Amino acid sequence: MEKENVLWAEDVLKKVTAKMAQVYERSKDKIPYTTVNGVHDDKSVDDIGWWTNGFWGGIMWLMFNVTGEECYRKTAIENEEKLDKLFLNYRMLDHDNGFKWLPTAVANYKLTKNEESKNRAILAADNLAGRFNSNGEFIRAWNDWDGDDIDRRGWAIIDCMMNLPLLYWASETTNDPRYRQVAVKHANKALKNFVREDGSVKHIVEFDVNTGAEVKNYGGQGYKDGSSWTRGQGWGIYGFALSYRHTGDRNYLKTAEKIADYFISNIPESGLIPVDFIQPADVTWEDSTASAIAACGMLEIASFEECSDPDRYRTYGLKLLKALTDSRVNWNENEDDLLLKCTAAFHDEKHEFSIIYGDFFYIEALCKVAGKGIHMW
């Protein structure tokens, strides 16, 4: 990384650190998802199974790593412990086990070698591996939902690429290849069935639960079937780059680069990212989370010696990150939200608000540039 960019990221991280010190005092006992009038909500009160409930802990570990302040470590561990309830209810466990336990228990174990954290993360990995459909060679995404009778047994989603590192970590930690075997089979299936010729990725693919044949694909949280949900593109870029990190299989690196090339060719002049790359021209909704995740993925790709063009991916990762920093960060220390204009799904009623994983990946990307990252994925 060029010296001037390291200095830039260090400078921005100082501002983030100053703001987080204030946010921490107000939110240390919560597990936030979003803000209401600038105040964090608390998912630990009534929605402990929510898929984003590991990111606050992850932010705490990043802040601990950057500042060395003990208070962040304490809150990260409290977040991890609050998730223990999920082990008592199988319906609260799904493919998002990675999002919940990688930034909490695995980060803790990597930094402190805490045995309780290892135990939690292995249990989460066992459950994730148990979702594998061995005929179809994919990991089932979600459980059945209350309130509808849609058959989701054959559904897999691109987001799951980010959960595979829990399986790679479990194999690395236990020396048992089964977890990695499941992850590789799923990654290969995703490579074949999710990535289109032009480098864009589908959000949801439904497979036949007995044969694994592709039945249908869905636009999911994007604009429509066949469209190009930007956060999904980000999950694809970062997820395949991480599968390359853990396996050394160059097909995954090439795939991460292919999705990144598609993303790069669609970045608007402003550097700010819409919710879907093919949303109608008169819709201006943005998703800053997509931008932060894609930036992390491009910086990850650029970090590999075998990368075809590290300068290109680093340059565009930085372009995204600088555009966010210049106009999509709330620096007001009296308000809890950091990254602005995040969108969960195109067809939701609400758009462009604060979402905790946006804050997490924005801070993670800054840490990567400043050389202060943690390999929690």
Please give the DSSP secondary-structure letter assigned to residue 353: B
Report how many residues bind ligand GLY under the rule CB under 6 A: 5
Chain center to CA of 354: 15
Name residue 252's amino acid.
Answer: Y
Q: How far is CA 260 from CA 123, 181, 335, in A?
A: 33, 26, 33
Query: Measured from the CB atom, is 145 or 331 closer to ligand GLY?
Result: 145
Q: How many residues does the chain have?
A: 377
Q: Is 287 in the site for ligand GLY (CB under 6 A)?
A: no
C-alpha–C-alpha distance, residues 217 and 220, integer Å: 9
Query: Measured from the CB atom, is 77 or 156 closer to ligand GLY?
Result: 156
Query: Measured from the CB atom, is 118 or 231 closer to ligand GLY?
Result: 231
Please state the closest distance from residue 34 (CB atom) to ligand GLY, in A: 13
For the chain, state the CA radius of gyration.
19
Please state the closest distance from residue 155 (CB atom) to ligand GLY, in A: 13
Contact 86, 100 (CB under 8 A): yes
Q: How far is CA 320 from CA 117, 260, 304, 376, in A?
A: 34, 12, 20, 22
Query: Measured from the CB atom, is 33 or 72 closer to ligand GLY?
Result: 33
Q: Which of 96, 261, 276, 287 is catalytic?
A: 96
Please state the closest distance from residue 293 (CB atom) to ligand GLY, in A: 9
Half-sphere exposure of 272 (CA within 13 A, CB side): 18
Contact 93, 123 (CB under 8 A): no
Chain center to CA of 124: 17
Q: Is 255 in the site for ligand GLY (CB under 6 A)?
A: no
Tell which one of 86, 344, 363, 374 touches ligand GLY (CB under 6 A). Answer: 344
Query: Measured from the CB atom, is 159 or 359 closer to ligand GLY?
Result: 159
Q: Is 159 in the site for ligand GLY (CB under 6 A)?
A: yes
Q: Is 231 in the site for ligand GLY (CB under 6 A)?
A: yes
Please state the closest distance from residue 185 (CB atom) to ligand GLY, in A: 21
Query: Measured from the CB atom, is 66 or 241 closer to ligand GLY?
Result: 241
Nearest Cα residue to 235 out of 277, 279, 203: 203
Footprint on residues 132-151 left by ligand GLY (CB under 6 A): none
C-alpha–C-alpha distance, residues 161 and 149, integer Å: 26
C-alpha–C-alpha distance, residues 273 and 289, integer Å: 9
Active site residue 96: yes
Tell which one of 44, 75, 97, 221 touches ligand GLY (CB under 6 A). Answer: 221
Q: Please give the residue whose beta carbon sits closest to ligand GLY in the complex.
A: 159
Please state the closest distance from residue 95 (CB atom) to ligand GLY, in A: 9
Q: Is 104 in the site for ligand GLY (CB under 6 A)?
A: no
Please state the closest distance from residue 344 (CB atom) to ligand GLY, in A: 6
Q: Which of 41, 159, 337, 359 is catalytic?
A: 159
Measured between its terminal Cα atoms, the distance across the chain in Å is: 21
Active site residue 42: no
Q: Which residues contact 334 (CB under 8 A, 6 or more apart)?
A: 22, 38
Enumerate the active-site residues: 96, 159
Residues of the shown chain interacting with ligand GLY in the complex, contacts defined by CB under 6 A: 51, 159, 221, 231, 344
